[in-house]
Amino acid sequence: MLVVEGLTCRFGTKAAVDNASFSIAPGGFVGVIGRSGAGKSTLLRMINRLAEPSEGRILFEGQDVTALRGRELRQWRARSPRLAGVRRRQIANQATRRGCHGATRSTHRLRCGGVRAGKVE
């Protein structure tokens, strides 16, 4: 299970991600949507540990990922893209399988019930 607790990333006084908390059970997924500059990429970079959180922590299978250093951190980075590196084509394929042919990112939420933490409903 991936657990994100109170994750915040600040650049100076501006919070790119502010107190994000969620969990993803094994076999589940989360879609991250938002406007340009909303912090989506920063959130994924923090999960991959390519950006350091200002506050909060990330747990994966009970291990505190935010505490990793050196070799353990490099090993985490090598395996974390499979957790957070979903490509747009994969998302489009999921939408097609759910009957959302030709759905744009904005209309996909309306026609297909949105993207939420957990399994596809």
Residue 26: pLDDT band with limits 50, 70, 90: confident
Same-domain pairing of 48 and 37: yes
Which residues contact residue 19 at a Cβ distance below 8 angstroms, ignoring those fewer than 6 apart? 6, 7, 8, 55, 56
> Helix, strand, coil shares of the chain as percentages rounded to 5?
35, 25, 40
Structure tokens at 15: 């919070």
CATH number of domain containing 18: 3.40.50.300
pLDDT digits (tens, 9 = 90+) for 71-82: 999 988 888 755
Quote the domain boundaries for residue 108.
Answer: 87-121
Structure tokens at 100: 């959302």
pLDDT digits (tens, 9 = 90+) for 39-53: 998 998 899 888 999
Same-domain pairing of 8 and 32: yes
Share of the chain above pLDDT 70, in %: 66
Structure tokens at 115: 């993207």
Same-domain pairing of 33 and 70: yes
Same-domain pairing of 30 and 78: yes
Same-domain pairing of 100 and 63: no
E-strand stretches of the chain: 2-11, 14-24, 55-60, 63-64
Same-domain pairing of 59 and 102: no
Total domains present in the chain: 2
